[in-house]
Every structure is written in structure tokens, then in C-alpha cells.
Structure 1
Amino acid sequence: MATVNFRIRSKANRPVSIFIYVSLEVGNVISTPSGFNVLPKDWSTTTKRPKQNSEGNKKTFSELNKLQKFIYDEVNTAQSKGQLIDVHWLKDKIDLCFDRVNKTDHSLLINHTQYIIDNANTRKITGSNKIGISQRRVTGYKSFKKVMEVYEKETKKKIQLQDINKPFVDKFTNWLMNKKNYSTNYAGKILDNLKTVCLDAEKLDIKVNPYAKQITGFREQNNDRFIITLSFEELEQIRTAEIESEALKNARNWLLLGCEIGQRASDLLKLSPDNLRYKGNRIYFDIEQQKTGKFVTVGVIAPHVIDIVENNFPYPISQQKLNKHIKDVCELAKIEEMVKGSKYDKKTGRKKLDVYPKYDLITSHTFRRSFATNYYKKIPTAVLIGITGHSKESLFLEYINRREDKDLNADLFMKFYETLHQDKEPQLKVIRNASNQ
């Protein structure tokens, strides 16, 4: 049976460190400073505690009792799980007992994540001359930090960057997927962030486990994804539906506008008449995408959307409120086909895959996907990518859950080739008379 106690190693006439020692078995004793000091003359070799002859010593006496019980319980837990107990383990447990975390210690995963957040506005963006990462990315780091804090609390251990090896990642992945029941995409994103923080720390010459470079996130397989979109026919149902509420009419205008310009809700909801530009009788939106920093120009051509932006531009609304209103709009428009998809379950706090009325699955993200899906194969993909802002065709096709259509590329080439040559005058071709040969 393990024993936990304390001792001092000096009789100097000055405060000395009180060491904690853990005897696991005969010949296997680990020891490290507890973080408390005492004058040797105030140390009792009988109680192995400070004499209670002052307020300071009484407090130290109490704290050592607390630490002894905490370490004893942790040793029993670790032994039952077959965990390695060494000096590093003991130091971590002492820090955990008294919540002693050096806020500037960047060898800790949490602290370096906070360093990234604190310096977000001065960080250089990879592949550009800009500095300052987006607020959306900062929010992502904050969410990641919260997840890691929960994991540390459950495992009762501060995560060192040097400890992030394969067994750690495997155990952490299992916790994300099976204990917390996070979605495949969200769990994969957490692992991506874990790798990003590790590699960022390495650039600052902080020691990081070499395995960090091999961490890989993951996403749902295409066969497992259920993408919800609104077809042109359904959009017409929505446009012509009888709606009395002004709030729902406003939400409908955002929906109809969003499904025609293909932008993320974060960019869509910032639009105002000031973003409109006219050139002759044509109308354009000039948009700087918040997530990518790209500038895109979108033409407005659908008559009902032109009417919205010129005569009834929707007023500002939060994304949360919009998501609630558009479900009501779609229900009134009879968008009620039963379809498979994921919906937030209040009981579990997670999304639940099931069959629901389609109106119940419509969100502001449906707008952009509907645009991409509805116009795919009707308009060259390169043109659509220029509007949605995807960096390459493969990402665009993954976004709408489609595979690359090789025939489509060939058909488009032939179509444009024919158009290119159809207005050319036929050329005379001289055929030599065989009798003149």
C-alpha cells in the first residue's frame, strides 16, 4: 500500500523546502518540493508537519494535510488504471491540488492557446501580407480552449505540449467521440486545432512532442452527409406564400436574397443598400468575405431579388433570430417533405440524426448551399467558385456533396468551342481536279 508524507532535508537557520514523498513499494520512492517552506526549528519529526506555533505554520499544517489526502487518492486512482507514477506525475498533481499554473508557461497547451488568442490582432496570416486573424478564427480558438479545459478537469491533469503523443491523441479522440458524443466534423476540427496550436508553439522554439506533426483531423464521409437545400420550385413556393407577419416577411427577403447571391450568413447579414453598385442597368454587390478575406462581386439578376434590394431591402437581424424565423416561413410555405437530417436535441445538447419535416432543418447556411446546388451544371463551376469564394473546385464539389463530372467539363469545352467558331465565315477550300494532275 502506498504511503504519502513529508520531510525536510536541511537544518539551516533559514526557511527550507518541505518535500513530499510517495512510497509506492519497497525501493520505489518519489519525492519533490511541495511548494511550502518552514524554519527547521519549527519542524516536528513526530508529526512530519510544522509545529502549530504560529498562524503561518498552522496554515501550512492544514495545506499539507489537504495535499496528503489528495495525492493519496490520486495514487490509488492511477494505480488502479495502470498509469505511470513518476516525479513529473507528482509535480502535476501538486499543481492540480492547489491550482498552481504559471500563466506564462507556454509549455502548457491551454496557456499557448491563450497566447494565440491574446495576440490575434498582430499575428501574420499565412500566405498573405495581412496581420490579424479573423474574429471567427479567434472564436474557434476560444471554443477549442474550453474543450481542452473540460478534458483537463476530467483527467485531472494539465496538458503539456510534450505529452501530446499518439496514446494521448487516441485517448482524447475516444473521449471526444464516445464520451462527449461530439459530431464527427466537430471532433475532427478539435484535432485540427490541437495540431495547429502545437505547430505554432514549435515555431517559437517551445518543446513539442514530435508526434504533433502526425495529428490528423477527419470529416464525415460524403455518404454520411445530409445536405439540406431549397430548389427553385421550393423558393417559388416561399416567394408566393401568404405571410402576414412583418418579421417573417423580412426573414423571407433575407432567405430569397441569400439563395441568389451565395454568401455566408455572416457576410449576407451585413449587407445594406450601401453595398449596391450600378453599372448601366446592372446591379452588383461588392463583398469582402469575412472568413476568407476575399473580395467577390455578385450580380443581381433575378427579378424578384432586384425588387427586394431596390424597394424592400431587409432590415438587420441576428443570425439566431433569422434561423428561427425562416423555419416558420418555410412551414407557412408548406416546405414540409419528410427528409433525413440533423437537428439540435435539447435533452442531449447534441445534434440528432433523424427524419424531420424539411422546414425544421432549414438554417441560414441553407441559402449558400442552395445557390451552389441550384446553379451547378447550369453555370460553369469556375464562375460559381468566383462568387462563393471557394479556393478550388474540389472544395466546392465537396461542399455540395458532388463528385467531379468529367463529361461536364468536356461538354462545356465543346459548347464554348462551337460558340467561338459559329460566327466565323466558312473558308473556301480548293480541290484540285484529278484530270489536271
Structure 2
Amino acid sequence: MATVKYRIRGKSKQNTSIYIYLSTGRGNFVEVASGFTVNSKDWSKTTNKPKQNSEENRKTFSDLNKLEKFIYDEVNDANSKGVLIDAYWLRQKINECFKRVKKTDNTLLTNHIQFIIDNANTRKIKGSDKIGLSERRVLGYKSFLKVIQDYEKVIKKKIHFLDINKPFVNKFTNWLLNTRNYATNYAGKIVDNLKTVALDAKSMDIDCNPYVNKIESFRERNQDRYIVTLSFEELEKIRKADLENEALINARKWLLIGCEIGQRASDLLRLTKEDIRYSKGSYYIDIEQKKTGKNVTIGVIAPHVIEIIENGFPYPVSSQKLNKHIKKVCEKAEITEKIEGKKYDKESGRKKLKKYRKCDLITSHCFRRSFATNYYKKIPTPILINITGHSKESLFLEYINRREDKDENANLFMKFYEEIHKTKKPELKLIKNASNEN
């Protein structure tokens, strides 16, 4: 059974701190400052509370009684939920009891997330000499903040950086996956954000639990991923499909361009004809990728894309409308075979795995993956990586759900070697006659 007591330290006559002592049995106890003070001569050893000999002391006496009852109730609630009761928990409960937590408290996880959001325009981008977080990244932090606020309502406490230990991360992860039913990759990104924010706080000399350095993100296994792409043959069917609706014709143009330039939808849909450069008989597209800040140049050679550029560049459309229209485009092109994949389910509010028509699984995200998949092993991987903007080959291969094929890499080397040397004139070699060597 829990026991709550108060005591003072030292014999100072003025402003002696009153400490709260909480024992939860079996030798487990914590003690922290309550935030109240008293003149030591006004401390009663009988009640272990201030003497009620002044208005101020009577107020403190009443507040300590209030806190004592509050802590007993919270201990019972914590025990029923298996919450760890430690010094950090006790300090938080004191703050909750008297509503002392201020928005300026930089030890709170939510406050530091908000700090990052509020100062997004002056944040230095990791691995770059630029400052200012992208709009997409800021939206990511806002979503993360909402998730943390929701979790705080569940555990009924504000999260301090010192709270973020291994048990906390394990319980938080379990809540993300099993209560919120988030997709594995999305839950992994949230945990990754948790580590990022905690390490940022630590870099600003905010006290953090040492475990924040050991937080590990996660993602679904390759065998659990369902990647949908459009092959060259399917793209040809789409190109030839009979379409009359102007919106569908426009969506088809974006689809065909997207599958040939390998960019994210956020970059693709920002393109205008003015972004296309004509030089020495060829078309080039120069893009600063919104997500990574990388500058890439893509050469356009596919005849059907050149025709779109020259004879009717697509007009702007939102990604939501594009995703709706391209499903219809693919249906018209008879891309309707049943394949396994994940699709949003209105009833559960989550993506559901089962067999769907392929046209119903096509989204603008398929464009970049189709480009990477279709040209993999046909064009050297470093060139593809330079276009897609992946930082290294391992990430690119994971993106298209492939493993490195070392034999194929060797074959590709031999192919290019032959191309280099096939026009080289053979050299005449002088072969000595062994009989004339003397």
C-alpha cells in the first residue's frame, strides 16, 4: 500500500523546502521537492506539515492535503495501468495537481516539437548549408505533435524528455501499431521523429533520458511490402487507350511524363512548360526536389513524352484529383488484373490488404517507382539514383524491393566494356619464332 509523507531538510528559518516522500511498498520509494516552502520553526513534527498559525501556513497545509489525496488517487490509477512510478512521474503529478506546467517548460516533448515548428524558417537542414524546413516537413512535425498529444491523453500525463526510456518507447510503439493500427512504416516514422526531436533537445542542453540515443526506428519487412508499378507494356496500353474526357486525357499526360522522369508527385505537379529546357536538339528538365533540396536534371527522350511537351503540356491538377483520374485512365486501358495490395478502407480508417483490380491501386506514387523499376539494369544504377534523388544504392534497391544482383552488375560492366572497346582497332602482335631465338 502506498504511503505519502512530507518532511523538510535543514534548519533554515526562511524558505525551507518541503519534500514529498512516496513509498509504494517493497522498498520502492521516491522523494522530490513539492514546490512549497516553510519557515522551519513553523514545521510540526507531529503532523509533518506546517503549523496552522498563520494564513500562509494554513494555505500551505491545505494545499499539501490536496496534493496528498491527489497522489493517492494517481498511484492507484498508475498501478492499474502498469505505469512506472518514479521521480519524474511524481514531479509531473505535482505539476498536474496545481496546474503548474507552463508552455515555456522546455523539458516537455510537446513544447519542443512546437518550438521546432515555430522556428522552422531558421532551422538548418541536416547535410546541407541551407536553412528553413520544407512545408512538407513542417506538416510532418504538426502531425507528430498531434499524435503525441493524443497519447498524452491516453496515459494522462505530459511527456518529459526524461520519461523517454525503453519501457516508454516500447509501450508507445505498441499503442501506435495495435491501438491506432497505424501501418508499420508510418509507426516507424513516428518513432524516428521521437528520436529526432529528443536528440535536438539534447543538443540544446535539455536534460534527456540517456536511452534517446538508442531509440531504433523500424519498417515493414520486404516480403510484407506490396509495390505497384506500371510496365512498359502497360504504359503503352495507357498511351493508346481511347479517352474522350478532358480531365482523363490531362491525367494520362501527367502519368506518362511521371513514369519517364522518375520524380515525386510533389515535384512532378509543379512542372510547367517553362521548366523544360531545349538544348542542342534535346529536351532537359531541371528540378530542385522539394523534399530533399537536391538539384537534378533529367533528359527527355521518350517520343510520346516529347510529343506531350511540344503539342499540349498538361494543365495543373491537385494530387488528390490526379489520383482519382488515373485510376479511371488505367481502367479504360484495361489494367484490371487482380493483384494483392493495400487500399484505404473507410470502415477501419486504415489500409486493408487483399486482392484488388490493379487500376484501383494506382496512385501518383507509382510513377517514380515504375520509372525506377522499368529502367533498373537497363541503365546504370548510379544514373538512376542521380535522377530519383536517392542518397545511396541500398535505399534505391529497397525502394523498388530488389536485392543487389552482383552477377548482373558484372554482366553490365562487361557489356559497357565491350561497347567501349568494340571500335578499337586490333593491335598486331609480333610472335617470335622459337627456332630463331639463338
User: The residue matched to 2:428 in structure 1 has which SS?
Assistant: coil
Does the Cα contact within 8 Å between 2:377 and 2:412 map onto a contact in 1?
no
Cα distance in 1 for partners of 2:193, 2:401 equals 24
Distance 1:422 1:43, change over 3 A: closer
**Which residue number in structure 1 is paired with residue 369 of structure 2?**
369
User: The residue matched to 2:242 in structure 1 has which SS?
Assistant: coil
In structure 2, what residue type is equivalent to 1:156?
Answer: K
**Which residue number in structure 2 is paired with residue 170 of structure 1?**
170
Moved over 6 A (4+): 1-7, 16-25, 27-32, 34-37, 43-46
In structure 1, what residue type is equivalent to 2:331?
Answer: E
Question: How far 1:110 sits from its partner (Å)?
Answer: 1.0
Question: How far 1:2 sits from its partner (Å)?
Answer: 6.6
**Which residue number in structure 2 is paired with residue 246 of structure 1?**
246
Question: How far 1:105 sits from its partner (Å)?
Answer: 1.4
CA offsets, 1:183-223, max 9 Å, x none?
Answer: 11111111111111111111111111111111000111111
Distance 1:2 1:195, change over 3 A: closer
**Which residue number in structure 2 is paired with residue 317 of structure 1?**
317
Question: How far 1:394 sits from its partner (Å)?
Answer: 1.1
Cα distance in 2 for partners of 1:83, 1:370 equals 47
**Which residue number in structure 2 is paired with residue 225 of structure 1?**
225
Distance 1:412 1:193, change over 3 A: same
**Which residue number in structure 2 is paired with residue 422 of structure 1?**
422
The 5 A counterparts of 1:2-401 are 33=34, 71=71, 73-81=73-81, 83-85=83-85, 88-96=88-96, 100-401=100-401
In structure 1, what residue type is equivalent to 2:144?
Answer: F
Does the Cα contact within 8 Å between 1:32 and 1:87 map onto a contact in 2?
no
Question: How far 1:32 sits from its partner (Å)?
Answer: 6.2
Cα distance in 2 for partners of 1:367, 1:117 equals 31
The answer to whether the aligner puts 1:435 opposite 2:435 as a matched pair is yes
Question: How far 1:95 sits from its partner (Å)?
Answer: 3.4
Equivalences, count: 420
In structure 1, what residue type is equivalent to 2:92?
Answer: D
Question: How far 1:70 sits from its partner (Å)?
Answer: 5.8
Question: How far 1:30 sits from its partner (Å)?
Answer: 7.2
- TM-score, structure 2 as length reference: 0.86
Distance 1:236 1:29, change over 3 A: closer
In structure 1, what residue type is equivalent to 2:169?
Answer: V
Cα distance in 2 for partners of 1:385, 1:24 equals 58
CA offsets, 1:202-251, max 9 Å, x none?
Answer: 11111111111110001111111110001111111111112221111111
Cα distance in 1 for partners of 2:177, 2:79 equals 26
Distance 1:40 1:375, change over 3 A: farther
Does the Cα contact within 8 Å between 1:264 and 1:368 map onto a contact in 2?
yes
Distance 1:97 1:320, change over 3 A: farther
- TM-score, structure 1 as length reference: 0.86
Distance 1:392 1:87, change over 3 A: closer
Cα distance in 2 for partners of 1:177, 1:378 equals 39
Question: How far 1:101 sits from its partner (Å)?
Answer: 2.8
CA offsets, 1:401-422, max 9 Å, x none?
Answer: 0111111211121112212222
Does the Cα contact within 8 Å between 1:43 and 1:49 map onto a contact in 2?
no
Does the Cα contact within 8 Å between 2:344 and 2:352 map onto a contact in 1?
yes
Distance 1:21 1:204, change over 3 A: closer
User: The residue matched to 1:297 in structure 2 has which SS?
Assistant: strand
Cα distance in 1 for partners of 2:3, 2:404 equals 66
Cα distance in 1 for partners of 2:408, 2:30 equals 72
Question: How far 1:121 sits from its partner (Å)?
Answer: 1.4
Cα distance in 2 for partners of 1:140, 1:129 equals 22
Structure 1: segments with no counterpart, 5+ residues: 8-15, 51-63
User: The residue matched to 1:347 in structure 2 has which SS?
Assistant: coil
Question: How far 1:89 sits from its partner (Å)?
Answer: 2.9
Question: How far 1:292 sits from its partner (Å)?
Answer: 1.2
In structure 1, what residue type is equivalent to 2:300?
Answer: V
In structure 2, what residue type is equivalent to 1:144?
Answer: F
Does the Cα contact within 8 Å between 2:34 and 2:94 map onto a contact in 1?
no
Question: How far 1:126 sits from its partner (Å)?
Answer: 2.3
Does the Cα contact within 8 Å between 2:238 and 2:329 map onto a contact in 1?
yes
Does the Cα contact within 8 Å between 1:117 and 1:138 map onto a contact in 2?
yes
In structure 1, what residue type is equivalent to 2:292?
Answer: T
Does the Cα contact within 8 Å between 2:17 and 2:33 map onto a contact in 1?
no
In structure 1, what residue type is equivalent to 2:391?
Answer: S
Cα distance in 1 for partners of 2:132, 2:80 equals 47
Cα distance in 1 for partners of 2:174, 2:146 equals 18
